[in-house]
Amino acid sequence: MEGIEQSVKRYFDKSVTDRERAIFEGAIALGAIYHQFVGTPICKDDEIIRTLEEAIRKTMRLQPYRESIEVKINDSLIKGQKDHPYDYETLKGKHLDLKVKTGYGGAKATVRMRYIPEIDFTLMYIEKLEEV
């Protein structure tokens, strides 16, 4: 839809490249996913984990220029199955491995968020940039 894209472009600094726009859109997705879903109750139950991953993937794909979103909730950091009423955890950044691919004009960006043990931090970074 030409119309809206042109309307939107007017608000951006004129020097922004396609590659920068692809990075911008991917980075928004990372910040959004983290701060929307952290705190959700989880436990080491495959069906629950898969359903939450799928909901994150499908809803967050709706934002503009996202080409794909891969979401993996790292079960190895979560305790075993619930065996009493208070036995569950809540989603934390370190549980999430996110890969978001965006495309804008002739550029594609792959941005990532994952827990990196070496620096003990859940890092958001630009993994790959491509021209198409």
Name the minimum Å distance from CB 44 to a second copy.
11
Q: Of the two residues 65 and 101, which places its CB atom closer to a second copy in the complex?
A: 65
Name the minimum Å distance from CB 78 to a second copy.
11
Cα–chain center distance at 56: 8
Q: Of the two residues 63 and 75, which places its CB atom closer to a second copy in the complex?
A: 63
Name the minimum Å distance from CB 10 to a second copy.
9
Helix 46-60 crosses helix 18-37 at what angle (to 10 degrees)?
140
C-alpha distances in Å from residue 71, one per residue of 57, 74, 112, 119: 6, 9, 10, 21
